[in-house]
Amino acid sequence: MPNPVVAIVGRPNVGKSTIFNRLAGERISIVDDVSGVTRDRIYAKGEWLGKTFNIIDTGGIDITDEPFMSQIKLQAQVAIEEADVIIFLTCVREGVTDADENVARILYQSDKPVILAVNKVDNPEMRAEIFDFYSLGLGEPYPVSGSHGLGLGDLLDAVVANFPSEEENAEEEGIINFSFIGRPNVGKSSLVNAILGEERVIVSDIAGTTRDAIDTMFVDDEGVKFRMIDTAGIRKKGKVYESTEKYSVMRAIRAIERSDIVMVVLNAEEGIQEQDKKVAGYAHEAGKGIIILVNKWDTLEKDNHTMKEFEDKIRKEFQYLSYAPIMYVSAVTKQRLSNIPAKIKEISENQNRRISSSLLNDVLMDAVAHNPTPSDKGRRLKIYYMTQVAVKPPTFVVFVNDPELLHFSYERFLENRIRDSFDFEGTPFHLIARQKK
């Protein structure tokens, strides 16, 4: 289930970026007293009452001819469209302004839950000044202070209370969800059409044609149900000029969250580019199953060494995806496309694989016998036992005398021994060290 999305909107210089940083728990947005500094929509993850959500910080909305105002208004409108809940941020110092009323008029049309917050209420004496904001017609105003962190708990309570219910978001049982991600124009939409054998998705040579995530259901010969999500291309930040394409990055990330398995699509003609690694990083960090698809393989002149050389480049550039299988395909000739559903099913089984504690500890003891645990400053790591605690992705807890003694290199060694012993192809897994009490 994708995380709910919270958009923070409002006129310039009311403190949206400060509130955004508070909710995200770190300084992500640029904070400056010059109005209009935040020109791009920036997103991060937040958490409250055990619920994780994505936060979008927007540029201010204004109808004046100040620089960047039209672009900022566009981005805010796009964020409003994407959001499940909107925080409308105003400022107690200026009171209700014409710009606030203009923002409110835009929000009336959004048909989304709107939480009205009044920022810079830095002391109790200022709380009496928030009642003027009832005139905006958006319900009870919540007094907050971004600089001091006051009132954010009540604000977040109201935000979380308006999240879509789990029943509304529930995905059907037994369906394998997978998505295509990659830079624009690597052939994602063409692959969707070739797999389905029909023109389900608009295909164009113009980069960035697909600006939304499109779901398609199909069933294979064995009756297994798949949901295929074709996402908009994730474009390098410095090369994005259109607000709708920036918007597509958020959509792609939400599609990754909804996916069980992500197909990272590369362009064989262009080779591996830096942005490919960043795109794949989204899926890896989300703990999703991954297949690397090298599309347009039919366009290359090949000899007996071409595939091996390409694989070596991929393994060198994507070292963190050593577990991901590589498939060389062509949307035009449909080369190897028939193998994709079977590989997806294999990885889905691997994601859900559970290993008994007795088998895990046999592997663990054998690994320690072959490569004794490291020591640091006279203290040696002691490993007591290991157990699996979760799937999708598979997660293992290893109990030790001191987690700090489990060096990264030895952790990697243990991970490799687990992969050598059990089939976890295509899925990342987590190894967590806990101190035995």
| Pairing verdict, β 395-400 and 383-390 | antiparallel
- Cβ atoms 279, 286 nearer than 8 A: no
Give the annotated binding-site residues.
10-17, 57-61, 119-122, 182-189, 230-234, 295-298
**Could you tell me which residues are annotated as the binding site for GTP?**
10-17, 57-61, 119-122, 182-189, 230-234, 295-298
- Looking up tokens 């290199």, which residue turns up? 409
Task: State yes or no: pLDDT of 352 exceeds 70.
Answer: yes
DSSP state for residue 284 in the 8-state scheme: H
Q: Look at residue 243 and tell me whether its pLDDT is greater than 50.
A: no
* pLDDT the model gives residue 239: 44
What value, to the nearest 5°, has the Cα angle with vertex 42 and ends 188 and 21?
Answer: 145
160-174, 305-319, 320-334: range with lowest mean pLDDT:
160-174
> What's the one-letter identity of residue 360?
L
* Pairing between β-strand 114-119 and β-strand 85-91 as defined by DSSP bridges: parallel
For residue 173, the model assigns a pLDDT of: 66
What number is the average pLDDT over the span 90-105?
88
- Please state the pTM of the whole predicted model: 0.67
The per-residue pLDDT of the chain, averaged, comes to 82
